[in-house]
């Protein structure tokens, strides 16, 4: 028996959903990046003072990386509920967990006040944050793509993908304004100024929660639930490993280099740029100001990548981005080592432009690559596993390589994963135009879509 056609969502609804997905990923990356910035600038002195400058920085970045260990578990748990009970309710939970854990970091006493309990509590809050983030991104992207017209999925997926540049710009801007207000000195900034960006996350959470409560479940998920009742499905995690393990592995490897460069650019370079011994020794204000500027380039590149994926295909855009990443990785530190603010800005902007091209095409790619019954889980798996492989250890390894071999080694650290990701991209399927209700495992990509999916797509 055929399923009655669903009423296509109107343009106003699609825009409201796109905005809700954008705010969610902006909060996700804002929470992550303010922690990364604080890990570079203040946490070694406030939470790991007994370890000294170098060891304290490594420990601080290790606390940054511990969240990546919680992300796969969050992806499995929230992916399960997202595939079983729906995208909207799951995303409301992840938003609250992310925002509250970040707020509590901003309220946390330092080691000078509560001793060893301070870094322990910091790590625990970071784990909670990582657990929530593990389920956020995939759901936000599915929210946008499952509401969008078939031919414009890349364009609509731009909205959640704009979360990172918005977050990077907000992170740099809030730390910059705090530094300008309190002065580019350590005393007041270390006393309370670093807390301001964390506390401001509460405003973003309230706005994001308001937007998400105003939207409905995606039409694709509702249609799939009518066609294949939830109670008849196997566990999404088991289903995706049994039926699409290849896509999980290839998708993860294709994204690994993205996260290596992303966390080098957004977390490690903040520390490197202000380093007076092994780095260019720029002022904190100069480095943060360049972060604001590069965030605009990042956003523009994401828009270009998303639109290009609708025209030329997801796979081709990701491949071009990964090949360019290898070249930029090798050139990044020679450019920054010129030692001027302008050179730092050019290097950082080149890095985020390459990242934006890849990121703009990834959202629709992962949404279309997996069957609807385990789409949330599959997309989360690729996203979180690649973040672990590429991002969890990147700032820590970079700090060690810099001390041992100098900045030249950092270029190879970025370029080698770039080669792996480029080769893995060649193994990806081209997904542009796939039906989001039909099963990509069993349906021929060139076959005409059935009427139920056409009703949703158009």
pLDDT digits (tens, 9 = 90+) for 374-408: 888 899 899 889 988 888 778 778 888 888 888 88
Tokens of 108: 């946390």
Distance CA 74, CA 120 (A): 20
Nearest partner of 134 among 199, 69, 64, judged by Cα: 69
Distance CA 172, CA 293 (A): 9
- 268-273 average pLDDT score: 85
CB 356 within 8 A of CB 262: no
Residue 6 in any domain: the answer is no
Of the listed ranges 30-44, 103-117, 123-137, 221-235, the one predicted with least confidence: 221-235
Q: What is the pLDDT of residue 94?
A: 87
DSSP-assigned states of every residue in 300-312: HHHHHHHHHHHHH
Residue found by looking up tokens 């720029």 in the block: 282
Residue 73 in any domain: the answer is yes
Residue 4 in any domain: the answer is no
SS3 call for 160:
helix
Nearest partner of 443 among 370, 386, 346, 352, judged by Cα: 370
- pLDDT value at 36 more than 90: no
Q: What is the pLDDT of residue 2?
A: 41
Q: What pTM did the predictor assign?
A: 0.81
Domain that holds residue 33: 11-457
Distance CA 310, CA 320 (A): 15
Residue 369 in any domain: the answer is yes
- CB-facing half-sphere around the CA of 150: CA atoms within 13 A: 15
CB 387 within 8 A of CB 71: yes
| Between 248 and 67, residue with greater pLDDT | 248
Distance CA 51, CA 35 (A): 19
Burial of 416 (0-12, 13-18, 19+ CB in 10 A): middle
Residue 2 in any domain: the answer is no
Distance CA 346, CA 112 (A): 39
Distances (CA, A) of 385 to 76, 248, 382, 404: 11, 9, 5, 28
- CB-facing half-sphere around the CA of 104: CA atoms within 13 A: 16
CB 356 within 8 A of CB 305: yes
- pLDDT value at 224 more than 80: no
Distance CA 336, CA 290 (A): 12
Own/partner pairs for 243-248, CB < 8 Å, 24+ apart? Answer: 243/371, 243/374, 243/441, 244/369, 244/370, 244/371, 244/374, 244/378, 244/440, 244/441, 247/369, 247/370, 247/378, 247/382, 247/429, 248/378, 248/381, 248/382, 248/385
Residue 343 in any domain: the answer is yes
CB 151 within 8 A of CB 167: no
Radius of gyration (C-alpha) of the chain in whole angstroms:
21
| DSSP type of residue 150 | G
Q: What is the pLDDT of residue 110?
A: 86
**Residue 231's pLDDT band (cuts 50, 70, 90):** very low
Distance CA 313, CA 83 (A): 26
Buried/exposed code over 366-396 (b: 16+ C-beta within 10 A; e: otherwise): bbbbbbbbbbbbbbbbbbbbbbbbbbbbbbb
Q: What is the pLDDT of residue 355?
A: 96
Question: Which CATH number characterizes residue 225's domain?
Answer: 1.20.1250.20
Tokens of 184: 């580019």
Of the listed ranges 183-192, 234-243, 395-404, the one predicted with least confidence: 183-192
Distance CA 179, CA 202 (A): 21
Q: What is the pLDDT of residue 307?
A: 96
Residue 426: count of CB within 10 angstroms of its CB: 11
Nearest partner of 280 among 331, 343, 348, judged by Cα: 343
Residue found by looking up tokens 């909670």 in the block: 128
SS3 call for 320:
helix
Query: Considering its fold, how many domains does the chain have in total?
Result: 1
pLDDT digits (tens, 9 = 90+) for 82-138: 788 777 788 888 888 888 888 998 899 988 889 888 888 888 898 898 888 888 888
CB 267 within 8 A of CB 166: no
CB 78 within 8 A of CB 90: yes
Distances (CA, A) of 373 to 230, 248, 428: 9, 15, 20
Share of the chain above pLDDT 90, in %: 27
Nearest partner of 143 among 433, 364, 303, judged by Cα: 364
Nearest partner of 363 among 149, 79, 74, 160, judged by Cα: 160
Residue 231 in any domain: the answer is yes
Residue 131 in any domain: the answer is yes
- pLDDT value at 456 more than 60: no
Distance CA 322, CA 317 (A): 9
Of the listed ranges 48-62, 256-270, 287-301, the one predicted with least confidence: 48-62
């Amino acid at each position: 028996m055929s399923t009655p056609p669903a009423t296509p969502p109107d343009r106003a609804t699609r825009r409201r959903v796109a905005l809700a997905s954008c705010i969610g990923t902006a909060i996700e990356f804002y929470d992550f990046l303010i922690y990364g910035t604080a890990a570079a600038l203040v946490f070694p002195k406030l939470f790991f003072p007994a370890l000294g400058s170098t060891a304290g920085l490594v420990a601080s970045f290790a606390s940054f990386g511990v969240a990546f260990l919680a992300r796969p578990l969050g992806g499995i748990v929230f992916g399960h509920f997202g595939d079983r009970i729906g995208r909207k309710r799951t995303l409301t939970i992840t938003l609250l967990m992310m925002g509250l854990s970040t707020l509590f970091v901003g309220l946390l006493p330092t080691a000078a006040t509560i001793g060893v309990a301070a870094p322990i509590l910091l790590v625990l809050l970071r784990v909670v944050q990582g657990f929530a983030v593990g389920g956020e991104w995939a759901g936000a992207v599915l929210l946008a793509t499952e509401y969008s017209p078939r031919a414009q999925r890349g364009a609509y997926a731009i909205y959640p993908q704009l979360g990172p540049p918005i977050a990077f710009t907000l992170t740099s801007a809030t730390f910059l304004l705090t530094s300008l207000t309190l002065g580019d000195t350590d005393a007041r900034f270390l006393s309370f100024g670093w807390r301001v960006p964390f506390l401001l996350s509460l405003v973003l959470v309230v706005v994001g929660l308001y937007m998400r409560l105003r939207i409905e479940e995606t039409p694709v998920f509702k249609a799939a639930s009518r066609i294949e009742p939830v109670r008849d499905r196997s566990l999404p995690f088991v289903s995706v490993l049994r039926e699409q393990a290849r896509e999980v592995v290839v998708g993860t490897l294709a994204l690994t280099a993205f996260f290596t460069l992303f966390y080098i650019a957004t977390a490690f370079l903040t520390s490197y740029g202000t380093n007076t011994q092994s780095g260019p020794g720029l002022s904190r204000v100069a480095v943060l100001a360049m972060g604001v500027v590069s965030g605009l380039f990042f956003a523009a590149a994401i828009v270009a990548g998303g639109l290009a994926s609708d025209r030329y295909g997801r796979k081709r855009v990701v491949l071009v981005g990964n090949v360019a990443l290898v070249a930029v990785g090798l050139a990044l530190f020679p450019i920054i080592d010129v030692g001027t603010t302008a050179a730092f800005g050019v290097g950082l902007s080149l890095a985020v432009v390459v990242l934006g091209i890849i990121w703009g095409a990834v959202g629709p790619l992962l949404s279309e690559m997996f069957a609807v019954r385990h789409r949330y889980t599959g997309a989360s798996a690729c996203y979180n596993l690649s973040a672990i492989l590429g991002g969890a250890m990147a700032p820590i390894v970079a700090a060690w390589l810099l001390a041992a071999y100098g900045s030249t080694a950092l270029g190879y650290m970025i370029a080698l994963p770039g080669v792996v990701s480029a080769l893995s991209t060649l193994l990806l399927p081209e997904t542009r135009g796939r039906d989001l209700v039909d099963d990509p495992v069993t349906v021929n990509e060139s076959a005409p879509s059935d009427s139920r999916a056409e009703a949703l797509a158009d």
